[in-house]
């Protein structure tokens, strides 16, 4: 179930023998939500990086990033490299990055990132991620409470 009940800013479908879907929502300022399912390829993570670049270019606000990757089953090697590279160059502009993930290898990557980038990156249970998103959206009047889907 998606984090929000509205069309994503960008959406990418991975085809082939390892299908997946990756969607990105952006509020036009500093809030970015992603929802990954199945396999994440380089093009999918490129859509997220595009949104981060655009959000950083359009203001001096801090970014709050929420990833629901609880149904991600794997990703291309280049995904980790691209995320680390982008993170190193932009982490001074992060408020927080919360990631819901179940796959053990991807979870280990998130734990490793939390050591590299400090407490700004945290692995959280899916319900905690949803509650954090709900609070952020409602408190900043970005969405009505009824438009957040749990």
What is the predicted pLDDT for the residue at 149? 38
Q: Is residue 2 part of a domain?
A: no
Q: Is residue 84 part of a domain?
A: yes
Q: Is residue 5 part of a domain?
A: no
Q: Is residue 14 part of a domain?
A: yes
Q: Which residues pair with 63 in a beta bridge?
A: 94
Its domain, for residue 63, covers: 10-144
Q: Is residue 3 part of a domain?
A: no
Q: What is the dihedral of CA 137, 141, 144, 147, to 10 degrees?
A: -30
What is the predicted pLDDT for the residue at 138? 62
Q: Is residue 149 part of a domain?
A: no
Q: Is residue 150 part of a domain?
A: no
What is the predicted pLDDT for the residue at 101? 92
Q: Domain total for the chain?
A: 1
What is the predicted pLDDT for the residue at 139? 63
Task: Answer positive or negative: Cα dihedral of 136, 12, 49, 79.
Answer: positive
Cβ-contact 48, 85 below 8 angstroms: no
CB contact set of 125 (below 8 Å; sequence gap of 6+): 100
What is the predicted pLDDT for the residue at 89? 92
What phi and psi values does residue 142 have, to the nearest 5 degrees? -85, -30
What is the predicted pLDDT for the residue at 147? 40
Q: Is residue 104 part of a domain?
A: yes
Task: Answer positive or negative: Cα dihedral of 109, 84, 71, 5.
Answer: positive
CA pair distance 106, 112, nearest whole angstrom: 10
CA pair distance 26, 136, nearest whole angstrom: 13
pLDDT digits (tens), the chain, 150 positions: 455 556 777 787 888 788 999 999 888 888 899 999 999 999 999 999 999 999 999 888 899 999 999 999 999 989 989 998 999 899 999 998 999 999 998 888 888 888 888 778 888 888 888 888 877 766 655 544 434 333
Domain CATH for 131: 3.30.750.24
Q: What is the dihedral of CA 20, 26, 30, 31, to 10 degrees?
A: -60
What pTM did the predictor assign?
0.84
């Amino acid at each position: 179930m998606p984090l929000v009940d509205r069309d994503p800013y960008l959406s990418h479908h991975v085809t082939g023998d390892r299908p997946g879907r990756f969607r990105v929502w952006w509020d036009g300022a500093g809030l970015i939500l992603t929802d990954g399912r199945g396999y994440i390829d380089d093009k999918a993570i490129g859509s997220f990086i595009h949104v981060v670049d655009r959000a950083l270019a359009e203001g001096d606000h801090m970014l709050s990033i929420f990833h629901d990757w609880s149904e991600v089953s794997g990703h291309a090697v280049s995904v980790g490299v691209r995320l680390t590279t982008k993170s190193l160059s932009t982490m001074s502009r992060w408020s927080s990055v919360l990631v819901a993930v179940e796959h053990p290898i991807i979870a280990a990557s998130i734990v490793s990132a939390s050591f590299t980038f400090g407490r700004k990156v945290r692995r959280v249970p899916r319900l905690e991620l949803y509650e954090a998103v709900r609070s952020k959206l409602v408190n900043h009047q970005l969405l009505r409470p009824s438009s957040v889907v749990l």
